[in-house]
Amino acid sequence: MPKPLLAILLAALTALPLAAESGELRVEVVASGLDHPWGLAFIGDGRMLVSERPGRLRVITADGKVGTPVDGLPAVEVTGQGGLLDVVADRDFARNRMIYFCYAEPAALGRGNSTALASARLSADARRLEKVTTIFRQTPKISSRLHFGCRIVEADDGKLFLTLGERGSRMADAQKLDNHHGKIVRIGKDGSVPADNPFVNRPGALPEIWSYGHRNSQGATLGPDGRLWMHEHGPQGGDEINRPEPGKNYGWPVITYGENYGGGAIGDGLTGKAGMEQPLHYWVPSIAPSGMTFVRSERYGKAWRGSLLVGSLKFDYLARLEMDGSRVVREEKLLTGLRQRVRDVREGPDGTIYLLTDEGKGQLLKLVAD
């Protein structure tokens, strides 16, 4: 069937030319009318799983057909920045049909919520989730609408990394190891704690913790070096790119290149302190980063290969960061006329770059090289 007139008009409005070393690039609309889409995963045959923050998971075909919500999700608390957030497919999805998703989980009794991570099997007809198991819960649960983090990365060894925000009002918790606020955790696919996690044998420390001193990470990916990379929101300024290493402290809220909303130093106003890691790159003013991926193919020209792509929620663009090892040497702003919040960016199996825009009528977009 032909696309609805609205979709055609949206596609025309979004077909923005982009200057690049590889020639002209266009943005094409794959699907529209998504309700605050958040995460994107590839499940074969050109199909994609897209999460919508209000608590829906949908399959979208290569030609843009949006499926009905997948059945079987657990209870999701939709509040503020929380809801159904990231989703990834197991790298062996073609054989096991396993996916992992994270979400704001309500407390069983009383008020409160926290980020949780679940595994599930997508049914053969892709209409429902089977064997849904919550494999990790952030503790403690508190009453907050902010800073859920919630990006998932599967490492080369099959372990899962999950980014966790410090929930806004509990920023001091990011420096303490007896809670999961402001941390990155590393677990097995069954929720087990790897024996080589850095705090397994430290009294008073939660064994799932990989690194700490983070604020709120909404982007994470494996780098060409096979290591975890992530970015995290600063307050007013000070968004950071980090490459978290086991057991290391990334400083929040003791050190930051940002300041309080409305102005004024955070804590003692420090940007560095012994025992705390410096970011690889930071933004002042904040761009409110979300989603990130490395470009591994040459679909967009040789100059793009190895670039780090980061979406901006605040300024509605896609940043392409040219890298020299772990150092950012140049930033190019793309899609500056998009006028939509870029929530996620992923490289597909064939090297195509896909974006999700976080709007009430959000879109799934792809970059096309002519």
Q: Which residue has the tokens 């909303």?
A: 261
Residues pairing with 333 in the sheet: 319
Considering 36, 147, 180, 214, which one is annotated as catalytic? 147
Using alpha carbons, list the distances in angstroms from residue 32 to 7, 28, 273: 7, 11, 46
238: which 2 tokens? 């000070």
190: which 2 tokens? 């069954």
8 Å CB contact between 48 and 106: no
As a whole number of Å, the CA-based R_g of the chain is: 20
8 Å CB contact between 215 and 198: no
Nearest to 318 by CA among 302, 337, 305, 301: 337
d(CA 103, CA 87): 9
Backbone phi, psi, residue 220, to 5°: -160, 150
d(CA 104, CA 106): 7
Backbone phi, psi, residue 249, to 5°: -110, 120
Q: Residue 19 class from Cβ within 10 Å (0-12 exposed, 13-18 middle, 19+ buried)?
A: exposed
121: which 2 tokens? 């099997």
8 Å CB contact between 153 and 160: yes
8 Å CB contact between 183 and 205: no
Q: Which residue has the tokens 């991926």?
A: 293
d(CA 351, CA 331): 21
For the chain, the residue count is 370
Assess whether 147 carries a catalytic annotation. Answer: yes
8 Å CB contact between 173 and 224: no
Residues designated as active site: 147
